[in-house]
Amino acid sequence: MLHLKLSFHDYISIFVHQTDLTLTNHIKNRLAPYNLAPEQNLIMMLLWEKDGLNQSEIAEELNKEKSNIARMIFNLEQKGFIWRESIKNDRRSLRVYLTDEGKKLGNHVIPLTEEFNELVCQGISNEELMEVRRILSKMCANVQ
């Protein structure tokens, strides 16, 4: 019989993963009425902050493969939330813009996202949040 060095519950990576699943499932349910998946919402949040990003900028900001971003952008375009425009002199590069419907969607989803962030951070001080960010950044750096 094999033995783990640590107990299942002692692996911090498993705890972080389970926390992410819990948070993602909660926001997934909140976004469902708006026909928006959590990962698609990340793209929309970037565009609500700065419209007209190109696909590479979005991929870099979200730390995702360009092919995954392209697929999500295609789906958001099919839903009528965004539109793409080719950049002159570079046919491979596209800028992504919000449609009027995508802008209106922000009126509903941005407050929901802010409420979710408040819920997640409830009872946690700014110092503790900064420590969480610092530690999670270290963990990411350890595996990169």
How high is the pLDDT of residue 92? 64
16-20, 73-77, 93-97: the lowest-pLDDT one: 93-97
How high is the pLDDT of residue 1? 75
> Count of alpha carbons within 13 Å of 95, Cβ hemisphere only?
13
Show the 3-state SS of 74-94: HHHHHCCCEEEEEECCEEEEE
pLDDT tier at 6, thresholds 50, 70, 90: confident
Q: Which CATH fold would you assign to the domain 32-116?
A: Arc Repressor Mutant, subunit A (1.10.10)
CA distances from 141 to 63, 100, 126, 128, 135 (A): 13, 39, 22, 20, 10
Predicted confidence (pLDDT) per residue in 77-122, tens digit: 999 999 999 877 766 678 999 999 999 999 999 999 999 999 999 9
Mean pLDDT value across residues 43-57: 95
pLDDT tier at 22, thresholds 50, 70, 90: very high
For 12, the token pair is 């911090």
How high is the pLDDT of residue 93? 75
How high is the pLDDT of residue 44? 98
Average pLDDT, the chain: 93
For 69, the token pair is 């971003």
Task: Give the burial string for 26-60 (b: 16+ CB within 10 Å, else e).
Answer: ebeebbeebebbebbbbbbebbbeeeebbbebbbe
pLDDT tier at 8, thresholds 50, 70, 90: confident
Decide: 38 and 20 in contact? Cβ < 8 Å: no
Q: Where exactly are the structural domains of the chain?
A: 32-116
- The arrangement of strands across the sheet holding 90-98 comes to 53-54, 90-98, 82-87
